[in-house]
Structure 1
Amino acid sequence: MTLAVRSLPHRRSRFALDIALEVKRQGTLQFFESTWRRYGDLAHLQLGSKDMFLVVHPDHVRRVMVEQRDTYSKKASYEGVRKLLLGDGLVASTGSLWRRQRKLMAPFFTPRAIETYLPIIVEDGAWFRERWSAAAKQGEPLDILTEMSVLTASIILKSMFSLEADDTIAWVKHAVETMIGFASSRQMNPLHAPLWMPTPKNRAYLEARNRVNQYIQGIIAERQRQAPDEWPNDLLTRMMQARDEETGEPMSTVLLRDEAITVFFAGHETTARTLSFLWYALANNPDVAERMQAEIDSVLGDAAPTLDHLKQLPYTLQVIKETLRLYPAAPMYARDAVASDEFAGIKVPVGSRMTIMPYLTHRHPDFWDKPLRFDPDRWLPEREALRHPFAYHPFAAGQRICIGNNFSLFESHVVVAMLARHFALRTVPNHTPQVWMDGTLGSRNGLPMFITQR
């Protein structure tokens, strides 16, 4: 394996295959964590003729994402995401297109704007309360990764398209997971069959992509056939009504599709993973669960959560933030050096890939006391104010911080308040989740848990 690291002797290989095989053996997260612990906060991996830097230290995150943001962009590292998943949606677009789209989309994701989706989240929370009541009576464990994926898929389909999702959730969930897993695998493995070859993985991916694209394109086409005064008050309508300030032009149909897919993927998959690991963390920290449930009980009673209720549930929000620290749904992201740079005594050549890992930054012992301990009190305002501003970046950082971060936190806050009021979850005996990354954070062997009625 090729690892070149400041102040350490290193070995060079002509092939990236060494690292690809090691990633496959250990798992992506485990490989990068072992690299960090062995070589430090700015490890240099030589992938044949290409350079990769593992960015962990908060100062280095700030350098790449803020101080020298024009030096680092989403170029080659996101080519697969553009081609295989999101097109020119906000996550993958660059330059003037990204700036235009970010300006158009930002008003839809302000704290005030996302509050309009509260009735939808409450409605689906009530549906899950009935679903879990039945599961508690049956006494069989449920895979919480699947459960939360079903819930967040329903919420985002209603929020974006005003669609009741009962008949589409199953296939959408499967298609999304197929596409994300396929893109992630190809990004980490330099040896893969060309997309035109009819391998089983290629066929499964293409079938999933075509079905998702056709589904969303069909929704957009149906909306375009309607008179504007008939459009429902949802995210798709807001995107269709948006106009460029300079040109007065709306989003093209292709961009509408790409942004809809981007919001659907990001708003569904990542929030589902956050909620899943939150239930797991609560089951393993009963003192935290008891304290959070006491807060929810005292504020909600038997009422559905309102905006005023949420303001009175600060500890519940602290639990969500701590989940995002230990289990960030997007455990790593990347930037490409479009100009040379030098920092921390290391030269960064043009074309280098900066692999930025909140999963590791959030475990850095220089910035987190007992970093593996699940401690929501880290998020007390007085403690948070003293922390390095880039020691925590579950939604990325700088000007390209995830536009949906407010929506994710808001949705999680409501869902946890509703379900924790009525249920406690416990892990299946002798089951240890094999935490891994397949695009987003997950568990290779699932996350089965028992639902208990409180």
Structure 2
Amino acid sequence: MAVDTQAVAAEGIPELAGVPLLGSLFDLKKDSIGTYLKAQRTHGDVVRITAGPPGLRAALYCVFSAEGAQQVLAAQSANFRKDNPFYEEVRESFGNGLLTSQDEEYLRQRRLVQPLFTRKRVDGYAGAVAAETGTTIGGWHDGAVVELTDEMMRLALRAVARILFGTDVEATVDVVDRCFPVIAEYCLRRGYSPANLPRTWPTPANRRAAAAMDELYGVCDRIIAERRGRDTAASGGGGGAASEGGGANTAAGEGTGTGEGEDLLSLLAAARDGDSGDAFDSTELRDQVLIFLLAGHETTATSLAFALHLLGRHPEQQDRAREEIRRVLGDRTPEAADLDRLPYLTQVLKEAMRLYPAAPVIGRRAVAATDIAGRRIPAGADVILAPWVTHRHPDYWTDPERFDPDRFAPEAEAARPRYAWFPFGGGPRACIGQHFSMLESVIALAMMLRAYEFEAVDTEVPVSAGITLRAEGPARCRVRALAP
């Protein structure tokens, strides 16, 4: 987007100082979330950042207040769309699922998927989460040093793959583990580059990404084809569970568990719109699966890893959480109903998600000029929300870098603006899987803290903003086995 200095003056939006010709390009490449934090501390809640050479220069309009985030995501969400280059790259690589679709296509997908994410349906996956957590901690031993980022990524991936695919977990986990980082890095690099070569050109980067996408698409397509064939055969050739009438709610059901025919893929394949009878075709099914794999494991893994690492640095809060877990659970396996019985553990998780939000930056494009905090965001502007910054805003958080789970006691939460904390986004595009993420995280934390004591080896973990927040160094804890 070319810079119009007269328009800037008219808007009255302060601009973060950069270097001649390139603006803040190098600062954003080196440390984007640090640059956004500096912009808020220096210039306030609506700041303009320019980056790139003349002719290819981008202008980012950053909104850092809770009230501004609420305008963009909820109150005036129709003015802000997922039309920026980053989302285009994600669409090209991971398909046009719920994360990236828009307008009528998004509403259609949401109608089909929503019945599969009711609280009762999601609660039915607690057993699968507990089983995968048990496998993970069963591989640890007293005194071991555990790299939390890798361990939690593997746990979260196995859990979401088991819920999506049922018995087909092993066929997908290794492929996803190998291919996702290649594709994600490719998306990120292209999404933030001022100019890109066509994907069809045989450059090394294009060829690596294409090979990873081919492998990932291939395993998903195979499982989908096998599942549809199995489900059709099980229904006697009459079109599977969806042919039995009753629309999407009938297809989704309200059963629980991950037994054969009840994994999320089978439910997605069976889902029908109750009014139109509309359903996902095979390509659309793959798009939803890819988005669920992406959003369903990296975000939860980030929250779990940093929650454990923070507790490893704060033994008093760790002991308090463990006392609650033992009092509520004893030696039994946690279940969905325990989510409401473990309020302090939930507060620990929320505080970890405040300090380390899995989605540290959220982008939109303004389609209509909008006034935010007395500043006018022009139509066509690329707009940045930064949970990383808002979650540290001194107007909402005293001593914001300090780890303090009591910030999320009910009375403290009620005293803050709704969007002072928004790790799951908000408004009509809020994450459909947020209850699942909280359920999975609380169950996993409860089981791990009951079995082991955590002592941080690394005192600080450098991070950067990728598609999700990512650790740029080790997040290690020494684990010590506890008596049952």
TM-score, normalization by structure 1: 0.92
Structure 1 counterpart of 2:480: 452
SS in 2 for 1:269: helix
Shift of 1:251: 1.0
| Seq. identity, % | 31
Question: Unaligned 5+ residue runs, structure 2?
Answer: 236-259
Aligned match for 1:303, one of 303, 323, 332: 332
Structure 2 counterpart of 1:83: 92
Contact 1:14 1:49 in 2 (8 A): no
Shift of 1:163: 2.8
* Change over 3 Å in CA distance of 1:11–1:326 after alignment to 2: closer
Instruction: Kindly indicate whether residue 239 of structure 2 is the aligned counterpart of residue 210 of structure 1.
Output: no
Structure 1 counterpart of 2:39: 35
- What is the letter of the counterpart of residue 162 of structure 1? G
* Change over 3 Å in CA distance of 1:100–1:183 after alignment to 2: same
Aligned match for 2:167, one of 163, 172, 184: 163
Kindly provide the CA deviation profile for residues 374-425 of structure 1, in whole angstroms up to 9, marking residues without a partner as x.
1111111121111111111000011110001011000001101111101122
SS in 2 for 1:53: strand
SS in 2 for 1:387: coil
Shift of 1:164: 4.9
Structure 1 counterpart of 2:188: 184
- What is the letter of the counterpart of residue 395 of structure 1? F
Instruction: Kindly indicate whether residue 26 of structure 2 is the aligned counterpart of residue 21 of structure 1.
Output: yes
Contact 1:140 1:450 in 2 (8 A): yes
* Change over 3 Å in CA distance of 1:311–1:7 after alignment to 2: closer
SS in 1 for 2:455: strand
How many residues matched?
Answer: 445
Moved over 4 A (4+): 2-5, 7-15, 47-50
* Change over 3 Å in CA distance of 1:379–1:12 after alignment to 2: closer
Shift of 1:236: 0.8
Contact 2:113 2:268 in 1 (8 A): yes
- What is the CA RMSD across the aligned residues, in angstroms? 2.3
Structure 1 counterpart of 2:412: 383
- What is the letter of the counterpart of residue 62 of structure 1? Q
Structure 2 counterpart of 1:260: 289
Shift of 1:168: 4.4
Kindly provide the CA deviation profile for residues 29-62 of structure 1, in whole angstroms up to 9, marking residues without a partner as x.
1222222222221111235564321111011111
- What is the letter of the counterpart of residue 36 of structure 1? Q
Structure 1 counterpart of 2:117: 109
Instruction: Kindly indicate whether residue 319 of structure 2 is the aligned counterpart of residue 290 of structure 1.
Output: yes
Shift of 1:448: 2.4
Contact 1:89 1:255 in 2 (8 A): yes
* Change over 3 Å in CA distance of 1:450–1:165 after alignment to 2: farther
SS in 2 for 1:390: helix
TM-score, normalization by structure 2: 0.87
SS in 1 for 2:169: coil
Contact 1:114 1:406 in 2 (8 A): yes
* Change over 3 Å in CA distance of 1:205–1:424 after alignment to 2: farther
* Change over 3 Å in CA distance of 1:68–1:130 after alignment to 2: same
Structure 1 counterpart of 2:59: 51
Structure 2 counterpart of 1:320: 349
1-structure distance, mates of 2:381, 2:148: 38
2-structure distance, mates of 1:142, 1:167: 26
Shift of 1:300: 1.6
Structure 1 counterpart of 2:248: none
Instruction: Kindly indicate whether residue 73 of structure 2 is the aligned counterpart of residue 65 of structure 1.
Output: yes
* Change over 3 Å in CA distance of 1:227–1:91 after alignment to 2: closer
Shift of 1:89: 0.2
Contact 1:178 1:205 in 2 (8 A): yes
Aligned match for 1:351, one of 369, 380, 404: 380
2-structure distance, mates of 1:338, 1:297: 52
Contact 2:358 2:423 in 1 (8 A): yes
Shift of 1:166: 4.2
